[in-house]
Amino acid sequence: MTAAEKTFLSHPFDDDKLKEECGIFGAIGLADAANFVALGLHALQHRGQEAGGIVAHDPQKGFNSAHRFGYVRDNFTKASLMESLPGPLAIGHVRYSTAGSKAAVIRDIQPFFGEFSMGGCAVAHNGNLTNAESLRRELIEHGAIFQSGSDSECIIHLMARSFQKTHADRIADALRRVEGAFSVIAMTRTKLIGVRDPLGVRPLVMGRLGDQGYVLASETCALDIIGAEFVREIAPGEMVVIQDGKIESSRPFHPATPRFCIFEHVYFSRPDSQIGGRSVYETRHQIGVELAREAPVEADLVCPVPDSGTPAAIGYSHESGIPFALGITRNQYMGRTFIEPTEHIRNMGVRLKLNVNKSLVRGKRVVLVDDSVVRGTTSRKIKEMILDAGAAEVHFRIASPPTAWPCFYGVDTPDRGKLLAARMSEDEMRDWIGVTSLKFISLDGLYRAAGEAAGRNAACPQYCDACFSGDYPVAPSDQIGKGFEMKAAE
């Protein structure tokens, strides 16, 4: 990888967010399925902006694939490329970066492909395997040649060593050996396969299009873009095998109590996606309502930190009666990052992306609603910008509880030591950021906003909320092996 390519991977202006690591999409029974996959991945681009890949199968032309750095729209819209991906069956993947890899290389881009004695199979994985490192060591000792630094490649090697006769059975075999979070879409020459881990940490939904067409996707917004009808969510622990317009469902794993990732509601999923029959936008709006109840303040304006804080800010405004306004404008021509930027550009930071509407906020008491605080560095910069513009008071309201623990289930989080909430109390954070007041929604408030009227069930939480609570539903065994300390039992 060249220096320029390396720079492409750094995120100097957007490093203060948790990052979903993947979006996946598959289609079967549709002419030129790869086109539908490209559109689905475009709708899922927020789940992974670094790179994307598509594998397609055509009865005449066999398996074809393309893996590219950059946005879906810049790669998978060109006729010349899409014509090289013919056939009625295709799957795809967009990624931010995988846990096991230090630097991005083209070989790390999914879907992964393996040639087995019963034919080829491609696999796309959203999530993270918490025992990938020990599995990898074990597989290498038994002759596996790994081509990528991705934990997901273990799945293909475990399949290769399974004694099962069908691809689906080999996938089940392989996934029984892994720990962690996974939603998987796979394809053979004739089948589209979807699997979700027993806890259902990562989302996976099914849609229908036309007579024989079925699609699998991380979120419902990817069904909308192609005009597919939402059928249902794949259940935690379920495997579906789709062929010739028929769906076979099975449960290859031991049953478990579901623990869907609550951060999908807070930030990862698109606001126009539906989760559990409920719009993500509504949940976020409701978080704002709960936040206004839990942490009211006298102020003149409620302004979102663009763009993710907007629904909660509208909810806060609605509940509090304080007028909603776009006090901060986002430059819509800001791309993901810069290749080989000048020093001058590098130092501009958040200013390249955000600008405060001076005449709007001057002299005002402003409530700023953001979705989360990770390192806190961006919060400080935004506070500076808004005070420079003449705001009288700045009240930060955060639409999630303090992020105090790293995620090991497919989300890119800093080391625990870099999480502001792991090092400081709420008051210390307020002083460090330098705002008039700072309040986070409570864990119970968040659960209520997500539809759990009674709040969090501490004995048996309805969601995975490890990043807030430190309560990890699957022990991160590789991390523990490297010295990570779990929260002490209370």
Residue positions forming the annotated binding site: 261, 308, 370-371, 407, 464, 467
- Least CB distance to its own copies at residue 409 (A): 24
Active-site pick, 22, 121, 221, 303: 22
Beta strands 22-28 and 213-217: pairing type?
A: antiparallel
Contact status: 274 vs its own copies (CB under 8 A): yes
Options 59, 323, 363, 481; binder of its own copies; rule CB under 8 A = 323
What is the size of the binding site for its own copies (CB under 8 A)? 92
Question: 271 or 434: whose CB is closer to its own copies?
Answer: 271
Contact status: 343 vs its own copies (CB under 8 A): yes
- Least CB distance to its own copies at residue 99 (A): 17
The annotated binding site for Mg(2+) is made up of 308, 370-371
Query: Distances from the Cα of 52 to the Cαs of 24, 44, 87, 90, 352, in angstroms?
Result: 10, 11, 19, 13, 26
Among this protein's residues, is 154 annotated catalytic? Answer: no
Residue with tokens 């910008």: 385
Q: Decide: residue 447, CB within 10 A, 0-12 exposed, 13-18 middle, 19+ buried.
A: buried
- Least CB distance to its own copies at residue 351 (A): 6
Options 165, 339, 363, 431; binder of its own copies; rule CB under 8 A = 339
Contact status: 425 vs its own copies (CB under 8 A): no
d(C-alpha 128, C-alpha 143), whole Å: 23
Question: 105 or 486: whose CB is closer to its own copies?
Answer: 105
Q: Decide: residue 195, CB within 10 A, 0-12 exposed, 13-18 middle, 19+ buried.
A: buried
Contact status: 348 vs its own copies (CB under 8 A): yes
Q: Which of 251, 280, 276, 248 is closest to 266 using CA atoms?
A: 280
Contact status: 143 vs its own copies (CB under 8 A): yes
Q: Which of 186, 231, 256 is closest to 28 using CA atoms?
A: 186
Contact 101, 132 (CB under 8 A): no
- Least CB distance to its own copies at residue 324 (A): 6
Contact status: 177 vs its own copies (CB under 8 A): no
Contacting range for its own copies; rule: CB under 8 A; set: 138-146, 194-202, 410-418, 444-452: 138-146
Crossing angle of helices 426-433 and 377-388, rounded to 10°: 50
What is the SS3 string spanning 406-466? CCCCCEECCCHHHCHHHHCCHHHHHHHHCCCEEEECCHHHHHHHCCCCCCCCCCCCCEECH
Options 11, 161, 208, 430; binder of its own copies; rule CB under 8 A = 161
Contact status: 156 vs its own copies (CB under 8 A): yes
- Least CB distance to its own copies at residue 104 (A): 13
Enumerate residues 49-88 that contact its own copies by CB under 8 A.
49, 64, 66, 71-74, 77-84
Beta strands in 96-226, from DSSP E residues, in sequence order: 112-116, 119-129, 180-187, 192-196, 205-209, 213-217
Contact status: 344 vs its own copies (CB under 8 A): yes
Contact status: 311 vs its own copies (CB under 8 A): yes
Contacting range for its own copies; rule: CB under 8 A; set: 219-227, 234-242, 288-296, 424-432: 219-227
Q: Which of 274, 258, 270, 260 is closest to 207 using CA atoms?
A: 274
Contact 93, 124 (CB under 8 A): yes
Options 56, 123, 144, 374; binder of its own copies; rule CB under 8 A = 144
Give the SS3 label for residue 242: strand
Question: 203 or 401: whose CB is closer to its own copies?
Answer: 203
Cβ-Cβ contacts under 8 Å for 65 (sequence gap 6 or more): 53, 54, 55, 56, 85, 111, 113, 122
Contact 330, 307 (CB under 8 A): yes
Question: 363 or 431: whose CB is closer to its own copies?
Answer: 363
Options 45, 243, 442, 479; binder of its own copies; rule CB under 8 A = 45
Enumerate residues 97-136 that contact its own copies by CB under 8 A.
106, 114-117
Contact status: 4 vs its own copies (CB under 8 A): yes
- Least CB distance to its own copies at residue 122 (A): 12
d(C-alpha 150, C-alpha 147), whole Å: 9
The annotated binding site for [4Fe-4S] cluster is made up of 261, 407, 464, 467
Contact status: 209 vs its own copies (CB under 8 A): no
Active site positions, annotated: 22
